[in-house]
Amino acid sequence: MGDVRRAFEFDVVILEDESGGYVALVPSLPGCHTQGESIDEVLDSVREAIELYLETLSDEEKEEFMRQRVVGLQRVKAFA
């Protein structure tokens, strides 16, 4: 029998890009981000980016990243 693929779920933050379109960030996978012209396109792109990222990880690393969860988004005002 061949390899059995396991499903992983990650929290994804989607932002509007100032030049149009969207940017998707995966907070629990450092450096994993992508962009797309529509929400559907950015979701397809981020799914592919996550799958490519996971290919570089050991099973232990995958388990470690899976334990990380986004617990909320909060807008914080700061002055500079």
- Say if 60 falls within a structural domain: yes
How many helices, marked H, and strands, marked E, lie in the chain?
2, 3
What's the pLDDT at 24?
97
Residue type, 54: L
- Are the CB atoms for 42 and 35 separated by under 8 Å? yes
Domain range for residue 30?
13-66
Q: Of the given ranges (38-42, 54-58, 67-71, 75-79), which has the lowest mean pLDDT?
A: 67-71
From 26, 22, 24, select the one nearest 11 (Cα to Cα): 26
- Say if 74 falls within a structural domain: no
**Tokens of residue 11, six digits:** 């929290």
- Say if 78 falls within a structural domain: no
Prediction pTM value:
0.81
Instruction: Please give the tally of structural domains in the chain.
Output: 1
